Structure 1
Amino acid sequence: MSNNIPAESDSGSIFTWRSIVFGFLGIFLMSGLGGYHDQVLGGTMMIGNHIPAGAFSYFIVLGLFWNGLWALADRFFKTGGAIRRTMIISSRELVFVMVLTLVSCFPPTSGLFRYFHRMLMMPWYYLSSHADWESYELLSKHMRPQIFPKPWLGDGAFSQIDYERVYKNFFTGMAKGNETVPLWKLPLDAWVQPLIIWAPLLILLALALISLQFLVHRQWGVHEQLSYPVAQVAGSFCDMKGSGGRGVPDIFSNRLFWWGFVPVLCLLLIDYFALWFPNSVPAAIEAMPDFKSWHLPVNDKIPILRKVPDIWCLNGQTIYFTIIGLAFFVSSEVSLTMGLAPILLGIFGSF
């Protein structure tokens, strides 16, 4: 009976107050708080790989809790779907939110900001130990002063106070002990000029990479029938065709999903509570040190494998829940390929 209910999630406008508000909220959470969470709070990284845990946790909150809350409210107050139609995020809107949120994952932590500011500062750190750099004036003569933070170190006309405030503190840190440095005490003024210079290039580079998909998608997706594993995961959180108009993605009705999700969530919650209560709750790696990773000297037992490039990684075995979860969403052919690839590399690479 519910299958005959029209799915409001598949119709309507994409640009609504819901998609805009939650889209920009996703940008703020990923780009604004992702770096603080990963670098200061610690624990599981919000943005650590191509399947950012923070972004997909946000999608779960929207699809399950936000939409589920208003579906329950609609049933409780018996409004005949009025609350649900007004408040739930439709499938089309959720796609828009996902696009904004996932695109905003490229700057923090494991993305641009892992290298960008460090690459601007590290040359001056290595300058003192590279006499050839100084003799050829590599940085002072061939690099524009505007692309580096102030003060410009190339001409030697800078005060020691400014050098320590901007450069030395970047390498050694400004905090003393466990204290936290307020945002207004950071030398952000030194970065205004280089950011103005670099921002257009970075923005255009991001747009170029996004536009590149229009060139390769037809060949990969249409002609070669290649699947996009990350896109399949994101698409699963947008599919509401079987929800009967409730607005909750179909993936949350799959028992196999919950059988895999709940145990991993419990392990992550243990690590989370261990951060807040280190004296009372041991971390999962302390209570079960060999649960996720262990060492097995495969190369020592099978010496012929030493001839295979990069086969040393077989000595350390690690369980990545992200990869296990990815296997649930992607096709069996892709999972089989990922599993057989290292085995075939070891077999054929040893000859």
Structure 2
Amino acid sequence: MSGTTITQSATVSLSRAARELELRRGEFDLALHLGCVRSVPDEGGGGRRVTRAEIDRVRAETGFPDALRERVKAVGTTEGAALLGVTNTRFTRLARLGLVVPVKVYLNRYRAVVWLYLAEELRQFAADQQNAPLMSGRTPEALRDQLDDGLDLRPRNWRGRHMGFLLRQTEDPWARAAVVASLLDPVQVAEIVTDPHERAHLNRLRPAPVSQAAPDSPGAHIVQRITTADDPDEISWLRADLGQSVLEAREDRPAPRPAADAAQVPAPDAAQVLAPAFAPVPSAGPPTGAPSSTARTSPPRAAHAMQGHPAAADFPITRREAARSRRLLTWLRGRGPDDDASYSARNSPSCTTETSSRPSRS
């Protein structure tokens, strides 16, 4: 019996696992992202699967299946506001300020952007007495000014959380680099990854799109704007991450290329990759009605790890500074399955739902 046959017999497909764990497919996808259910790659190249042992482990947990459903329950603006005991308008303001962070996004039939948040994290947020002033009374003037300037951290916070989900699903260096590249505009990627064969390899490994909208359709363009970094600080952070990730991937193994090219063209060295990656990202200034770079920073209590990272322009192009950046990235990527369930919505990306009539710029 081959190793692949043994693997297939010891695992089940994701749809079969969802049925056996009594979860709807959307709930099961969140369970995978949050680490409630662990999956393994299919050795036959057919995607990811779930082992029988993992299904047995989850089914043996106390309170199954209701407890599992509660952990992955995602709610929208109306239900989220009810959990916090606030109006829909105040809930939306809290989300725009980054105090509660989306776990999921989709377009409804009217192509309106719907943000979803974890009910469990909202309950933790409401139970924290330090958040009481934010849920009643007048919003502090500094936060009101940011909202008036158009601050909306929902897309940026969702991108940071979504990237963490994707990075935890793979250990392959090139696949991890492709995750980072998927959040950058192709022009930004081309500036950092100058080798066309490496760019092609990253494109082949890009994660599946979050929307099933047809390419070049209005819905696809809306989703693309949400999933592509547009804030200068965030772009700089991702450029630095992509440059270092490509270096690590190249050290692991070179990207596939035609035999003739492989014999004639040497791979770029570290300086060639890190120089454009750590270059400052010029800002053309905020569009009309959009916040300035100062106003776009989240309040001190906002839940987004990437906002504490300095801009790439602040990094000298040295191995030592690159290593310092990598330590932060390692911490972000290395969150274990229990971390997402335990940290509060105030201090981490939370998963609650929110609806907007049009895609917001982070």
In which range does the TM-score fall when normalised by the shorter chain? under 0.3
Give 1 or 2: higher helix fraction.
Answer: 1
Q: TM-score, normalised by structure 1?
A: 0.21
Rg larger in structure: 1
